[in-house]
Chain A
Amino acid sequence: MVHNAVEMENVSVTFNNQPVLTSINLKIGMNDFLAIIGPNGGGKSTLLKVILGLLKADQGRVTVFGNKPGNPHNPIGYLPQHVSFDPDFPINVFDTVLSGRYHGFFKGYSDDDRNLVKKALEEVGMLNFQDRQMSRLSGGQMQRVFIARALVRDPKLLLLDEPMASIDPEMQNSFYKLLSRLRERMAIVLISHDVGAVSTQVESIACLNQRLYYHGPVENSEKGLEAVYKCPIDLISHGIPHRVLKKH
Chain B
Amino acid sequence: MTGILEYSFMQNAFMAAVLVSVACGLVGTYVVVKRIVFISGGISHAAFGGIGLGYFLGVNPILAAIPFSIISALLMGLTSKKVKISEDTAIGILWSLGMAIGIIFINLTPGYVPDLMSYLFGSILTVPVNDLIIMFILDIIIIIMVILFQREFQGISFDEEFSQVMGMPTTVIYLLLLSLVALSVVVMIKVVGVILVIALLTIPAAIAKQYIYHLGRMMILSVIMGMILTTGGLYISYLFNLASGATIVLVLGLGFLVSLLIQKLME
Contact = CB atoms under 8 A, between A and B. Distances in A.
Contact of A89 (B158, B162, B165): B158
A15 to B, nearest CB: 13
A130 interface: no
A88 B34 CA distance: 11
Interface residues of A, number: 29
Interface string B110-148: 000000000000000000000000000000000000001
A72 interface: yes
Interface in A86-142: 86, 88-92, 95-96, 99-100, 102, 104-106, 108, 133, 135
Given A52-B165, A76-B165, A102 B155 contact: yes
Contacts of A33: none
Contact of B151 (A76, A89, A99): A99
Given A102-B151, A105-B152, A90 B162 contact: no
Interface residues of B, number: 26
A91 B154 contact: yes
Contacts of B218: 90
Interface stretch (B193-201, B209-217, B225-233): B209-217
A105 B157 CA distance: 16
Nearest to B33: A89
28 contacts: A54-B165, A78-B165, A80-B159, A80-B161, A80-B162, A83-B162, A84-B161, A85-B158, A89-B157, A90-B209, A90-B212, A90-B213, A90-B215, A90-B218, A91-B215, A92-B213, A92-B214, A95-B214, A99-B151, A99-B155, A102-B155, A102-B163, A102-B166, A102-B167, A105-B149, A105-B152, A106-B148, A149-B162
